[in-house]
């Protein structure tokens, strides 16, 4: 029987005890996963060395495709190919006012489902598919189970959208360490939170232009906390609009009228490629069937002017909201693939009167910041202060007249507990409705309802005599607990809030069932990873032994052992657990023999006694 290994105190532990945190940027257009490896935040790639996973899910008759393979079906089979599912997360049907090609099902108050050939699918389930792909990518790349993940969300996401994101992670067995605001993640990636020499508060602007969305956030870093001062943006402004403007220009150049869908799609691809090339070249040639032209950076700047201008207008508004001038911004960070366009960088530089930070790849920066936070949260980071998380929106309850009493204001660091006293409104009132809401508005009707519960059994008293203490408690995971206690009689009631976004009972049940389905796959994945880790450990141990004692083997024996070792190493690249186990068995035949030889020699040696020189030589061997 193999002995269990115990690591030396203070030494890094065996891979088994290694805690792995990953950072996930679950984007509208593209998603990424990253992890801190040997102290460096690193994007994890798939087998084809791709970093970006297009956020696209396609349902075939009996399979689910995610990413690049799904992308091929966007124009061919739109209703079974979901793009930009992030726009639907935690939204009710009534919230969805933008154009989309999908058939949705559900009542106005519910988060709707997409009707696909595999039945109806909620946004949570579809996002879960993207998360599952990223989780598997991470496990493959790291050869290890994932302890937990930090997932980024836009700063303006409300509790329902955040909860939907958490639920998606839960469906695939991903432990969410924290949801992190995307702009905060970008600031962390640049280490803006580690600048401890600066005592004063710092203001940062994060300009994020992605594929189809624009977000600008103003953050203040103060006493170890990033506070969101203001956010703004546009839910339909991004790289796709730039592509459309280029297409329009090219059609004018070529004097083309309306194009067939296929040709139109082709021209969009050409425009996109030209735009992306122009970030490194001053001019590009463009060929579309018999037409030919060229495009340079100055022309591109003119063509995309409408997009650039609109983003700067939003920046102006947001700075005004934050009550800051451009000069008071200490750093500007560029995020999102579209900020690679030089004309965009110029516009940002001019507006903020400073060189924006863009040394970190703008479509990777958010995932990298999330990875740094994840690494800290699983307890791996020795240095750096851990950022506190804050409540994204204010939490409060309804008081008379449909007014909101804020109990925990927005941007309060969590965990937090706040207590406030309330009283009855009527003489003889024996019950009280506690209506918990979230939002920044003063009227209940403008805020989002999180929960309602009743405190009953209040002894009849004159109005205003009862003392009801209501406690709001947000734990480190962001879960809200509300309790109410009438202090003269000690009657109490409480509720734990999983903020609702209108999931029906039926949906909840179905999601649970599907959770079991994923659990099966998760179990298989875990077994595979465990087998791999075990085999890897065997290989390492054997290699170390060979370095010292290979001379004990005949040339032929050494040859056999080494080739069995190679075969095992080779199988580790596959996902086939049977093959790996077989290779381990095969190796065992030779390695056991070798182990026996070593044992004999060591007993021999021990009987003779070890001379100091031998011991020293042995140590040197080990150090090699």
Residues annotated as catalytic (active site), given as ranges:
25, 86, 182, 208
Residue 462 buriedness (CB in 10 A; 0-12 / 13-18 / 19+): exposed
- The pattern of x and - marking residues 66 through 95 that bind Mg ion according to CB under 5 A reads ------------------------------
Question: Residue 67: which of Mg ion, ligand ADP, none does it interact with, CB under 5 to 8 A by kind?
Answer: none
Long-range contacts of 377-385 (CB under 8 A, 24+ apart): 377/21, 377/148, 377/150, 377/177, 377/178, 378/19, 378/20, 378/21, 378/147, 378/148, 378/177, 379/19, 380/19, 380/21, 380/36, 381/36, 384/193, 384/194, 385/193, 385/194, 385/196, 385/224
The CB-of-209 to Mg ion minimum distance in angstroms stands at 9
Q: Residue 329 and residue 344: Cα distance in Å, rounded? A: 18
Q: Which among 21-29, 217-225, 494-502, 594-602 is the span making contact with Mg ion, rule CB under 5 A?
A: 21-29
Q: Is 88 or 594 the residue whose CB approaches ligand ADP more closely?
A: 88
Nearer to Mg ion, 27 or 499 (CB): 27
| Residue 347, CA distances (Å) to 301, 354, 356 in order | 10, 11, 10
Q: Residue 31 Cβ, how far from Mg ion at the closest point, in Å?
A: 9
List the interface residues with Mg ion, window 193-232 (CB under 5 A): 210
Sequence-ordered list of residues with C-beta below 8 angstroms from that of 545, at least 6 positions apart, any chain? 594, 595, 598
Instruction: Choose, by CB under 5 A, the member of 21, 23, 27, 502 that binds Mg ion.
Output: 27
Residue of 155, 204, 152, 147 whose CA lies nearest to 368: 152
Binding residues among 378-407 for Mg ion as defined by CB under 5 A: none
**Residue 350 beta carbon to ligand ADP: minimum distance, rounded to whole angstroms:** 19
Q: Is 239 in the site for Mg ion (CB under 5 A)?
A: no
Given the complex with ligand ADP, which of 249 and 594 has the nearer CB atom? Answer: 249
What gap in Å lies between CA 298 and CA 312, rounded to an integer?
Answer: 19
Measured between alpha carbons, how far apart are the two ends of the chain, in Å? 29
Of 1-9, 24-32, 92-100, 506-514, which part binds Mg ion (CB under 5 A)?
24-32
Say whether residue 238 binds Mg ion (CB under 5 A): no
Kindly give the residue spans of alpha helices, DSSP state H, lying in 278-333. 297-303, 305-321
Which of ligand ADP, Mg ion, none interacts with 239 (beta carbon under 5 to 8 A by kind)?
ligand ADP
Q: Which does 591 bind (CB under 5 to 8 A by kind): Mg ion, ligand ADP, none?
A: none
Q: Which is nearer to ligand ADP, 242 or 482 (CB)?
A: 242
In the list ligand ADP, Mg ion, none, the entry touching 363 (Cβ below 5 to 8 angstroms by class) is: ligand ADP
Binding mask 156-195 for Mg ion (x = CB under 5 A): ----------------------------------------
Quote the least distance from Cβ 619 to ligand ADP, whole Å: 51
Minimum CB distance to Mg ion, residue 208 (Å): 6
Encode 156-222 in three state secondary structure.
CCCHHHHHHHHHHHHHCCCCEEEEEEHHHHHHHHCCCCCCCCCCCCEEEEEEEECCCCEEEEEEEEE
Q: Kindly state the smallest distance separating residue 202's Cβ from ligand ADP, in Å.
A: 25
275 binds, among ligand ADP, Mg ion, none (CB under 5 to 8 A by kind): ligand ADP
Task: Provide the minimum distance between the beta carbon of 182 and Mg ion in the complex, in angstroms, as a whole number.
Answer: 6
Which residue, among 74, 72, 77, has the nearest Cα to 61 in the 3D structure? Answer: 77
Question: Which positions lie near ligand ADP, rule CB under 6 A?
Answer: 27-30, 210-213, 238-240, 272, 275-276, 279, 336-338, 340-341, 363
CA distance 493 to 472: 12
How far is residue 34's CA from residue 150's CA, in Å, rounded to a whole number? 10
State the Rg of the chain over Cα: 29
Q: Shortest gap between Cβ of 206 and ligand ADP (angstroms)?
A: 12
- Identify what 483 binds: ligand ADP, Mg ion, none; CB under 5 to 8 Å per kind: none
CA distance 109 to 94: 6
Rounded Cα gap, residues 385 and 194, in angstroms: 7
Strands 148-153 and 21-26: parallel
Cis omega before residue 100 (within 30°)? no
Question: Is 41 or 210 the residue whose CB approaches Mg ion more closely?
Answer: 210
| Smaller CB separation from ligand ADP, 235 or 471 | 235
Half-sphere exposure of 237 (CA within 13 A, CB side): 22
Spell out the SS3 assignment of 353-391: CCCCECCCCCCCHHHHHHHHHHHHHCCCCCCCCCCCEEC
- Ranges within 338-357 binding Mg ion (CB under 5 A): none
Nearest residue to ligand ADP, using CB?
Answer: 239
Measured from the CB atom, is 231 or 341 closer to ligand ADP?
A: 341
Number of residues engaging Mg ion in binding (CB under 5 A): 2
* 340 contact, one of Mg ion, ligand ADP, none, CB 5-8 Å limit per kind: ligand ADP
DSSP state of 579: H
> Which is closer to ligand ADP, CB of 74 or CB of 416?
74
Binding to Mg ion, residues 120-159 (CB under 5 A): none
In terms of CB distance, is 240 or 486 closer to ligand ADP?
240
In whole angstroms, the minimum distance from the beta carbon of 83 to Mg ion comes to 14
> For binding to Mg ion (CB under 5 A), which residues are involved?
27, 210
């Amino acid at each position: 029987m193999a002995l269990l290994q115990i690591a030396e105190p203070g030494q890094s532990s065996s891979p088994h005890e290694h805690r792995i945190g990953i950072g996930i940027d679950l984007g509208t257009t593209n998603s990424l996963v990253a992890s801190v490896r040997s102290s460096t935040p690193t994007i994890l790639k798939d087998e084809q060395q791709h970093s970006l996973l297009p956020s696209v899910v396609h349902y075939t008759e009996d399979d689910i495709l995610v990413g690049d393979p799904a992308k091929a079906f966007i124009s061919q089979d739109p209703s079974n190919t979901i793009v930009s599912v992030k726009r639907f997360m935690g939204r009710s049907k009534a919230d969805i006012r933008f154009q989309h090609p999908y058939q949705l099902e559900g009542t106005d108050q519910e988060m709707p489902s997409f009707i696909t050939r595999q039945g109806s699918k909620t946004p949570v389930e579809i996002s879960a598919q993207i998360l599952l792909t990223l989780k598997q990518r991470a496990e493959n790349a790291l050869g290890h189970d994932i302890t937990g993940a930090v997932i980024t969300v836009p700063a303006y996401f409300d509790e329902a959208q955040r909860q939907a994101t958490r639920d998606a992670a839960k469906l695939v067995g991903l432990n969410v360490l924290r949801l992190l605001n995307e702009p905060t993640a970008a600031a962390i990636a640049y280490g803006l939170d580690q600048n401890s020499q600066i005592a004063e508060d710092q203001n940062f602007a994060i300009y994020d232009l992605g594929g189809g969305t624009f977000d600008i956030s103003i953050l203040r870093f103060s006493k170890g906390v990033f506070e969101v001062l203001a956010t703004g943006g546009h839910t339909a402004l991004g790289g796709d609009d730039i592509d459309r403007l280029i297409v329009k220009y090219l059609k004018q150049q070529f004097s083309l009228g309306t194009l067939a869908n296929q040709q139109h799609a082709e021209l969009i691809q050409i425009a996109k490629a030209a735009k992306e090339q122009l970030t490194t070249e001053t001019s590009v040639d463009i060929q579309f069937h018999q037409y030919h032209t060229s495009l340079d950076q100055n022309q591109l700047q003119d063509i995309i002017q409408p997009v650039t201008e609109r983003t700067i207008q939003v920046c102006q508004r947001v700075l005004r909201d934050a009550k800051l001038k451009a000069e008071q911004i200490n750093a500007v960070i560029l995020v999102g693939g579209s900020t690679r366009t030089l004309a965009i960088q110029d516009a940002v530089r001019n507006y903020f009167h400073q060189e924006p930070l863009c040394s970190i790849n703008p479509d990777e920066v958010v995932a990298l910041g999330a990875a740094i936070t994840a690494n800290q949260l699983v307890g791996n980071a020795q240095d750096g202060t851990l950022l506190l998380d804050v409540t994204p929106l204010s939490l409060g309850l309804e008081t008379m007249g449909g007014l909101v009493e804020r109990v925990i204001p927005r941007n309060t660091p969590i965990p937090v507990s706040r207590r406030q006293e309330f009283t009855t409104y009527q003489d003889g009132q024996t019950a009280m409705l506690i209506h918990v809401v979230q939002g920044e508005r003063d009227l209940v009707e403008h805020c989002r309802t999180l929960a309602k519960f009743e405190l009953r059994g209040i002894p009849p008293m004159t109005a205003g005599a009862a003392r009801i203490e209501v406690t709001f408690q947000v734990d480190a995971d962001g879960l809200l607990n509300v309790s109410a206690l009438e202090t003269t009689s000690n009657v109490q009631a409480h509720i734990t809030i999983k903020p609702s976004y209108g999931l029906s009972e039926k949906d909840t049940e179905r999601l649970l069932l599907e959770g079991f389905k994923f659990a099966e796959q998760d179990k298989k994945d875990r077994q595979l990873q465990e087998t791999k880790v075990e085999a890897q450990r065997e290989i390492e141990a054997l290699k170390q032994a060979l370095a010292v004692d290979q001379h004990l083997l005949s040339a032929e024996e050494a040859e056999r052992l080494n080739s069995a070792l190679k075969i095992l190493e080779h199988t580790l690249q596959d996902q086939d657990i049977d093959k790996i186990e077989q290779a381990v068995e095969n190796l065992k035949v030779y390695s056991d023999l070798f182990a026996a030889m070593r044992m004999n020699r060591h007993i021999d040696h021990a009987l003779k006694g070890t001379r100091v020189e031998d011991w020293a030589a042995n140590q040197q061997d080990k150090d090699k």
